[in-house]
Structure 1
Amino acid sequence: MELREELLKEMILLRERNPSVDGSLACTVDGLTIASDLRGEPEEQAAALSAAVLAMSRRMMALAGRGALEETLISGTAGFAAFYAAGPTIVLTVLAEPGTNLGLLRLEGRKTAASVAAIAARKQ
């Protein structure tokens, strides 16, 4: 099975495990889309911004001396965007509805990011 197909399968499982998840995107740290489970959002722009958010978040953690980045969570009036480093080369972005259980989002997001990282490592 291709990398894109395996990642998409994990992203669909994430949405099934947490119904508050609207969709997700896996992209490279350079901002290129690998797989997308987004509905209606422009993938190319989302991938580019996801890579930028991850890079800035990693830099901030290093500057502040707070260890390795685990996640970045952005909350807005219409929901949430969570960003996870899925290994050294992939960013997993998860979009969720307002009222989402953030503990569950964090748990499932990290679990999916770990699966995405393992799949990517196996495919190299």
Structure 2
Amino acid sequence: MELRDEVRKEMVLLRERTPDVRGSVASTVDGLTIACDLVIDSGEQVAALASALLAMSRRMLVLAGRGELEETLISGSAGHAALYAAGPTIVLTVLAKPGANLGLLRLEGRKTASTVAEVARHVHSRSEEA
């Protein structure tokens, strides 16, 4: 199974187990889409912006001496966007509805990002063996 398929499977599981999640996008830190689980057609734009926001968030934490990035949460009138570093090369962006349970979103978002990072490591190691 390809990275795209395995990552998308994890993103679908996130949406299915977290009722407030409306979809997600996984992309490289360079802004290229890996997998998309959105009903809107802006996955490519979300991926590009997520990579820039991830870089700025990481830089802010370094400058402020606040440690490693765990998440960036953006709240708007129509819902939330949460960004998670999924290993060193992937960013997971999760979109949630207004009034979402942010504690559950954070818990499940981090869990999925960790799983996506592990999937990427596993796929990478398989490709090196081949």
With normalisation by structure 2, the TM-score equals 0.94
Report what 1:122 is aligned to: 122
Report what 1:15 is aligned to: 15
Deviation track 1:65-121 (CA, whole Å, cap 9, x = no partner) reads 000000000000010000000000000000000010000000000000000000001
Q: In the TM superposition, what is the alpha-carbon distance from 1:50 to its structure 2 partner?
A: 0.4
Report what 1:96 is aligned to: 96
Deviation track 1:41-72 (CA, whole Å, cap 9, x = no partner) reads 41111110000010000000000000000000
Paired with 2:90 and 2:38, the residues of 1 have a C-alpha distance of 17
| Amino acid across the alignment from 2:22 | D
Q: In the TM superposition, what is the alpha-carbon distance from 1:19 to its structure 2 partner?
A: 1.1
| Amino acid across the alignment from 1:117 | A
Q: Quick one: percent identity of the two aligned structures?
A: 72
Report what 1:79 is aligned to: 79
Large movers: runs of 4+ above 2 Å = none
Q: Structure 1 stretches of 5 or more lacking a match? A: none
Please identify the structure whose Cα radius of gyration is greater. Answer: 2
Q: Structure 2 stretches of 5 or more lacking a match? A: 125-130
Paired with 1:31 and 1:64, the residues of 2 have a C-alpha distance of 25
Alpha-carbon RMSD:
0.5
| Amino acid across the alignment from 1:94 | V
Give secondary structure in 2 for the equivalent of 1:35: strand
Equivalences, count: 124
| Amino acid across the alignment from 1:45 | Q
Q: How does 1:1-124 map to 2 (within 5 A)?
A: 1-124=1-124
Paired with 2:97 and 2:40, the residues of 1 have a C-alpha distance of 15
